[in-house]
Structure 1
Amino acid sequence: MRKKIIYSLVLIVVCLTQACDSYLDLQPENGTTRDEFWKTKEDVQAAVIGIYSGLLNTPGSGTTIAEYSFMYGELRGGMVGAGAFSSDDQRDIITSNILPVNSVASWGAFYTVINYCNTVIDLAPDVLALDPTFTQQQLDQYLSEALAIRAYLYFTLARAFRDVPLKLEATLSDDDNFQIPTSTQEVIFAQVVTDLKAALNSAVEDYGDIPSNKGRITKDAINAMLADVYLWQEDYTNALMAADEVVNSSAGYELIPGGPSWFTTVFARGNSIESIFEFQYTPENRGPFNEIFLNRPEYLADASVLEDVFGLDFEDPENKDVRGERASLVPGTNEIYKFTGLNVDQRKSNQESDTHWFVYRYADVLLMKAEALNELDRGDEALEIVDEIRESRLAIELTEEQVTGADKHGVRMYILAERARELAFEGKRWFDVLRNARKDNYAYIDIILNVAIESAPANQQQSIVAKLKDPNSHYLPINEYELYTNKALVQNPFYK
């Protein structure tokens, strides 16, 4: 956690509330005290906006949280290959040839935004005594948003790195302690649940406009996150309860039937009735996706994805899963299309590169519910959910699996395959594979090994499989820079 992050939050707040050159008036780093931060509710509101701004484009980082989320969740999942402009580090992640110097294994952007959250959590309550127009309800709402975003960032880090430093207080001075050891994944997950439960108590259900309801933390977004982390904790009863809170929400989420406008509605425009939480890129604050998927492609869909994941009906080419061709990818070139397309025929221009990053969608929650039901020996109910989604998406018969509700592992694999179709390239695949493989103390490690065999070059299969048999290899190394600056850290044993 670099010392330079200390004033990033202050800079964002000042730029949002004053002329952008006013940051030159800030005092030197060691000259600021707590009572020099925020005086009014508007200051707190600007700081919360700064958190969301940090999710979109983190100051001091050339890589966005969305890009890291894509890399952490997709590069090892067997559905992504290297594009012409992939870096050596990105290619090494894809082939499990990972070293501690790999730049992808960098958590600096996450801890920058975590510090924004911590600063709001620590300092916003003091403003109640300074601004008589600032109400407890407003404060609690802002704290709910900061807690939930902090929880989500730690949840992502723990799934990617396993053990990471847990810092719950704001870094406000160069004198603060930067020598923090890692906490175990179990401790991180427990803190995530604690934060999300606290956030739920004051969460907003309706901000009054669609972009806020989809782009800010709501009660439904928190319950979606809770369902997710409970699955990782193998707490299926609570996962089911959290998922049902979203399913039964007054927001009235629905699966939009597959058709000519489905792709444009759900992805190109975003904020649809299927949306729960999306990073809100706009034409004025464009996302990175045209650049990394189209103009200078760093990633491609693996050549096998269209046929093996979505299925191809060679007798009737018009019979196709709406999520595949010209939705997730472009046949032939294997271009990842989900974030660059305007409709099934046209791409967005660079000036229109405003497709959101999809954190949680309704179909994701339905499939998490199905997973929890299956693990609770309610496989028939889980299959009903899978069938509902497949019918909505026009999934073809070729990808239908003949399993019964009594076949728990068969249903488990069917759900995993359906998640690959539904959530392709949304930063979910590797985490889905890993979560299922590690169930019951890695009883299903073959899931990971089979993905590696299917996607690895023939001359690398043996070495990749040998690495992946060690569970420590399933998590990224701590970057060497972090080890140098934080002597309390201990490297993941696989990378020593």
Structure 2
Amino acid sequence: MNILSKKLAIPALAFALLSLGSCSKWLDLKPQEGVVAEDYWQTKEQVRAAVNGLYISLITSPLTQELFMHGEIRTDMVEVSTFAPQPYTEYRFADMLPTNSFSNWGTFYRIINYCNNVIDNAPGVKELDPTFTQADLDAYIGEALAIRAWMYLNLARIWGDVPIKLTYTASDEDLAAIAKSPQRNVLDAVVADLVRAEPMVRETFGNTAADKGKITRYTVNALLADTYLWQDEFQKATDVCDKIIDAEIFELVSGDASTWLSELFGQGNSIEGIFELQYDRQQLNPFYALFRQNAIYTAGQNVYEVLFQFDAADPENFDVRGDRGALSTATNMIYKYHGLNRTQTKSLEESYTHWMVYRYADVLLMKAEALNGLNRGQEALDLIYMIRERGNAMQGTDLNPGADDQQGITTFIVEERAREFAYEGKRWFDVLRNAGRNNYERIDLITSMIVGFAPPDRQQSMLAKYRDVNSHYLPIYYIEMQRSGGVLEQNPFYGN
């Protein structure tokens, strides 16, 4: 069991701060009656509790379920089972409407508001508590900035254009409808927060669980690399990846079949982990029910045979990320989140596998994507093959592009990311990001994926919808539209 939960234990008052936010008004940000800000922000201990509360909000909210859904449900990696309620199938088969509850962005904005609370109110505590150092204040604000940036990055890649709210909503008087900002401006705001946070946050907290479960400088750089890729800022992405690589404190875990899954996921907080949401026995993850007990999601029908492949002549030669790594071929069950190792699974009471936000393999493949964007194809290929060698990728999955074949390398990267990060909530975003470059020069990455999983009777309808690039982003939930009083404009694909 990891120890971070003990370090994140927070007093009842801090939990009360996290509960501020069930409102019937715009963005669902208004606090409930209870703790009043001026009664709370008095000591450095209260600031620490509020920041620790940010991490609690990441694992007690529906965040990870939503990140999985938004990253996987529109892809060839999963199937949606007969246990799934209608909103899942609507999302899966491009029948999404503004009335679908999965178009509700409330989880992300509530966490943003918790971050804004810290960013706005923590500085005043330094004037009241002489023991509160500037370095500690900066570190706490840096953590809040980075978490806020991560939430806005998610909003930008799920909804596209979204409102930007950078101040705390504490009362009805603070509630005012805000128009959407273009996606490019949202990404600029993400970068601004991260650039500000980078020199403020700690490089280490002094113990492994906290270094993997809280925001460090390396987390900030990974977030920056990700965001820069969405902006096509390839040199900047390369540079921040190099900051992580050059630190020489992260490594790929061994590709040994007996240890790969158990080190990375069964136990967690491995030498490869950069930022992992820390579930434990006191706060179980939600994935046992989603993937195993009346499973809503199962592995895609052709994932193993097409994506991972196998060696029919030698059953001992296999991609360690495939069978009983990402999925179980015997049951088509998503295995990664409840496998203790290749032969043992966790019970419901042991369902505390962490949610991976970033790990070192991601940094290497993000750098490969950036290098390919800079026409440094051989360097990109060297990194891809490093990941493939660790995973023991099958020869049949080697696309073998030439160093000057930029489009071929792009396809290779997207496919290798699917193998490496299967069911880690990244697939849709990887496809969308690479498809959308140069005015959707690679729209085929999306359409070929749709052809791969759409039922025959839905295929043409889904393809027609996905050829409209506005369909790649979700509608604004109808209740938010009503609350905004006409200030919000609906995504044009879904009408007004």
TM-score in terms of structure 2 length: 0.93
SS in 1 for 2:358: strand
1:462-481 aligned at under 5 Å gives the runs: 462-481=460-479
Match of 2:194? 196
Cα deviation code 1:320-344 (max 9, x no counterpart): 1000000100114211011111111
1:315-354 aligned at under 5 Å gives the runs: 315-354=313-352
Match of 2:255? 257
Match of 2:97? 99
1:105-120 aligned at under 5 Å gives the runs: 105-120=103-118
Change (3 A) 1:490 1:273: same
Q: CA deviation at 1:482?
A: 1.0
Q: Distance in 1 between matches of 2:285 and 2:36?
A: 35
1:133-144 aligned at under 5 Å gives the runs: 133-144=131-142
Cα deviation code 1:369-414 (max 9, x no counterpart): 0011111111011111111111111111111112111111001111
Q: Distance in 1 between matches of 2:36 and 2:181?
A: 29
The answer (yes or no) to whether the contact 1:369–1:382 under 8 Å persists in 2 is yes
How many residue pairs match? The answer is 475
Change (3 A) 1:29 1:16: closer
Match of 2:12? 15
Match of 1:164? 162
The answer (yes or no) to whether the contact 1:255–1:389 under 8 Å persists in 2 is no
Q: CA deviation at 1:251?
A: 2.0
Match of 2:285? 287
**Among candidates 299, 304, 315, match of residue 301 of structure 1:** 299
The answer (yes or no) to whether the contact 1:270–1:356 under 8 Å persists in 2 is yes
SS in 1 for 2:252: coil
The answer (yes or no) to whether the contact 2:15–2:53 under 8 Å persists in 1 is no
1:47-446 aligned at under 5 Å gives the runs: 47-58=50-61, 64-446=62-444
Of 96-105 and 206-215, deviating more is 96-105
The answer (yes or no) to whether the contact 2:476–2:490 under 8 Å persists in 1 is yes
The answer (yes or no) to whether the contact 1:155–1:192 under 8 Å persists in 2 is yes
Match of 1:6? none
1:384 maps to amino acid: D
Change (3 A) 1:149 1:19: closer
Q: CA deviation at 1:485?
A: 1.6
Q: CA deviation at 1:278?
A: 0.5
The answer (yes or no) to whether the contact 2:250–2:273 under 8 Å persists in 1 is no
1:15 maps to amino acid: A
Structure 2 regions of 5+ residues with no counterpart? Answer: 1-8, 21-30
1:56 maps to amino acid: I
Question: RMSD over aligned Cα, in angstroms?
Answer: 1.9
TM-score in terms of structure 1 length: 0.93
1:36 maps to amino acid: D
Q: Distance in 2 between matches of 1:248 and 1:182?
A: 38
Change (3 A) 1:184 1:262: same
Q: CA deviation at 1:229?
A: 0.5
Q: CA deviation at 1:318?
A: 2.2
**Among candidates 45, 49, 64, match of residue 48 of structure 2:** 45
The answer (yes or no) to whether the contact 2:213–2:276 under 8 Å persists in 1 is yes
Q: Distance in 1 between matches of 2:16 and 2:178?
A: 36
Change (3 A) 1:456 1:45: same
Cα deviation code 1:315-366 (max 9, x no counterpart): 2222110000001001142110111111111110111111000000110110
Q: Distance in 2 between matches of 1:229 and 1:284?
A: 33
1:336 maps to amino acid: I
SS in 1 for 2:357: strand
Structure 1 regions of 5+ residues with no counterpart? Answer: 1-11, 59-63
SS in 2 for 1:104: helix
The answer (yes or no) to whether the contact 2:253–2:264 under 8 Å persists in 1 is no
2:400 maps to amino acid: Q
Q: Distance in 2 between matches of 1:18 and 1:117?
A: 14
Cα deviation code 1:286-331 (max 9, x no counterpart): 1101111111211011100001111122222221100000010011
1:183 maps to amino acid: S
Cα deviation code 1:412-455 (max 9, x no counterpart): 11111100000001010000000011011111111111110111
Q: CA deviation at 1:14?
A: 5.2
Cα deviation code 1:33-89 (max 9, x no counterpart): 65323110010011001111111012xxxxx11011001111112211112321211
Identity, % of aligned pairs? Answer: 46
